[in-house]
Structure 1
Amino acid sequence: KQKEKLEKEIAKLNGMLNNERFVANAPEQVINDNKKALSDATEKMAKVEGELKGFA
């Protein structure tokens, strides 16, 4: 369940950051916050996947 939530969050953040119009119009702080959130979510996903492999 946590993995699904992280996958959705990562997809949403990637979508925003890959949208040229969003990046061109959004304040720099918003872009930086989204990049940090994406980095954090990616790290959490790696941990969750590692934990899942430990159970397999």
Structure 2
Amino acid sequence: MFDPFFTTKEVGKGTGIGLAISHKIAEEHGGSLRSIDGAGPGACFQLILKSEASV
């Protein structure tokens, strides 16, 4: 799902680059982005970034 142009939407309804870009930004800042189990429908993600105190 973090691959560029991956989408589950029908043709013309999405580019599939949002999560790929978000994942790359998180990594460039020393963090991570991952999918996690959430309650109910939809998707749930966890963004982890290092604080200045931990550098």
TM-score (norm 2): 0.33
The structure in which a higher percent of residues are helix is 1
Higher relative contact order (CA 8 A, sep 6+): 1
The structure in which a higher percent of residues are strand is 2
TM-score (norm 1): 0.33
